[in-house]
Amino acid sequence: MSDGRLLQINVSDGGVPKLPVPAARVTSDGVEGDRQRGVTVHGGPHRAVSILGIEAIQRVAAEGHPIEPGSTGENLTTEGFDVSALAVGSRLAIGAGVVLELSSVANPCRTIRDSFADQRFGRLGAKAHPLDSRMYARVIRPGTVRAGDPIRVSPPEDGSAVLLSLAERLDQAERVSALAFWHAAREAGQEISILDDGGIAASAAPQLPGQAFNSAIGFAHLPNLVDRAVEHFTAHGVTGFVMADEPPWRGAVADTTLARWAANPDELVGEPPPDGVVIRELGRQEVGPWSAVIVAASDLPPNIAQAWIDLEGHLARAGHHHRFVAEVGGEPVATGSVHTHGGVGWLRAGSVLPEFRGRDLQRAIITARADLAHRAGCDIIGASTVEGGASARNVERLGFEQIATRRNYQTTPTTRA
């Protein structure tokens, strides 16, 4: 017995509308014969297939919009159940053997505006119309699907799909935070080339070697695009660092293993400042204490230390970026910052002067940053730490849960993705 059927299969050479075909092979890369124009926004193994139910199409069409199967870019049009109402992680068994797992909501974009009488493509947005949004799916079992194939729906087998969706939110918050940092460095006069394209970002700074200014983010969910990061590094003659789940090229060796952490701010344990310590957010015009602690607490080459000092004033003016300082006797002894984006408060690395380490200052600063993010409306606080390090122990003690592991892979001049 089926829960519904595959009404239509839709493909195009890029853009919309996608046109019907009687059958198509589905792989981890997507539907064969289909192509995405915005490959940094759509596609990749976690967004391989887009799906929309005819029920949603009919509801929208009843309002006078010229929407029809395939016009908003879905690969598969289903019938018999509201696919948009299914939980992330739900599985669709189609025909004789293909199995898909819903991975996330597909946010609408202006490409599909002609399917709406007023061109307001937000009509398919999940927040305002959760039953009428398109869904992305990853391919669990590849194979060929045909129009008319029966579909069986099963609930999520475990929480892995939800964790993957959460990990993507953290990745995007980290990406936006990194972009703010890199742009601040460039505004301060540093020679830094920035790649910012949809879900991926990379920076290359020939005069500032090291991971802070030469790294790539977003490729854990878009590993098929890692060649863009490698090309960016190669073009600018730098050694770069790519964060990914799996080795992104043959022979790649991980430089660092990073733990990814998340917490509900309502459930954090929290830790007040030790006696005699004052923790406060720095004002937009208050520049100097934050970078001074970072430089004093780190063994940085002089030019990189100066880059941190110079960029602080520009970063201070960046929207949604907040710097904190812990003071003893009015003198700054520890710092940290948080960037809020998409309901996520992303904790950037903190620094403590050597003589003040071991006094629980970092946990207190984490608490202060999490509190600010919560007040700003964030429902998740995220962080990345070296696996098994002191920072990992700090966030775990405060109630963070490790949800994923990422690895940093270092490129060389001969790296080919």
What is the arithmetic mean of pLDDT over 158-171? 88
Q: Does residue 196 sit in the same domain as residue 219?
A: yes
pLDDT band, very low/low/confident/very high, at 1 (cuts 50, 70, 90): low
At 120, which CATH number? 2.40.33.20
Q: How many CB atoms lie within 10 A of CB 409?
A: 25
What is the arithmetic mean of pLDDT over 375-402? 96
Mind listing the pLDDT tens digit for each residue in 231-254? 999 999 999 999 988 898 888 989
CA distances from 52 to 34, 39, 377 (A): 16, 19, 30
Q: Does residue 88 sit in the same domain as residue 45?
A: yes
417 assigned to some structural domain? no
C-alpha 359/C-alpha 127 separation (Å) is 43
Higher-pLDDT residue of 71 and 125 is 71
Q: Is the confidence at residue 42, as pLDDT, over 80?
A: no
Helix axes 361-375, 390-398, angle to 10 degrees: 50
Q: Does residue 217 sit in the same domain as residue 344?
A: yes
342 assigned to some structural domain? yes
DSSP state of 37: S
pLDDT band, very low/low/confident/very high, at 274 (cuts 50, 70, 90): very high
Q: Does residue 76 sit in the same domain as residue 21?
A: yes
E strands along 12-79, which residues? Answer: 19-21, 23-27, 30-31, 49-53, 76-79
Q: Does residue 63 sit in the same domain as residue 100?
A: yes
Angle at the Cα of 134 (from 126 to 70), degrees rounded to 5?
140
Q: Which of 36-50, 154-168, 193-207 has the lowest mean pLDDT?
A: 36-50
416 assigned to some structural domain? no
| Domain final position from 117, 139, 157 | 157
pLDDT given at position 165: 86
Q: Does residue 171 sit in the same domain as residue 70?
A: no
| Domain final position from 139, 157, 175 | 157
C-alpha 37/C-alpha 13 separation (Å) is 8
Mind listing the pLDDT tens digit for each residue in 71-88? 999 999 999 999 999 999
Residue with tokens 């946010």: 107
pLDDT band, very low/low/confident/very high, at 220 (cuts 50, 70, 90): confident
Q: Is the confidence at residue 162, as pLDDT, over 90?
A: no
pTM of the model: 0.89
Q: Could you list the residue range(s) of the whole structural domain that residue 71 is in?
A: 4-157
| Domain final position from 157, 182, 213 | 157
**How many distinct structural domains can be found in the chain?**
2
Q: Does residue 188 sit in the same domain as residue 263?
A: yes
Q: Does residue 184 sit in the same domain as residue 213?
A: yes
At 211, which CATH number? 3.40.630.30
The amino acid at residue 186 is R
The answer to whether 46 touches 135, Cβ cutoff 8 Å, is: no
Q: Does residue 248 sit in the same domain as residue 386?
A: yes
Alpha helices in 194-265 (DSSP H): 226-235
Q: Does residue 300 sit in the same domain as residue 343?
A: yes
> How close are the terminal C-alpha atoms of the chain, in Å?
45
Q: Does residue 180 sit in the same domain as residue 138?
A: no
415 assigned to some structural domain? no
What is the arithmetic mean of pLDDT over 274-281? 97
pLDDT band, very low/low/confident/very high, at 340 (cuts 50, 70, 90): very high
CA 96 to chain centre: 34
C-alpha 230/C-alpha 222 separation (Å) is 14
Helix (H, G, I), strand (E, B), or coil: what is residue 305?
A: helix
Q: Does residue 36 sit in the same domain as residue 17?
A: yes
228 assigned to some structural domain? yes
Helix axes 302-316, 289-297, angle to 10 degrees: 150
pLDDT band, very low/low/confident/very high, at 41 (cuts 50, 70, 90): low
Q: DSSP for 80-146?
A: SS-GGGSPTT-EEEETTTEEEEEEEEE---GGGGGGSTT--GGGG-TTT-GGG-EEEEEEEE-EEEE
Mind listing the pLDDT tens digit for each residue in 380-390? 999 999 999 99
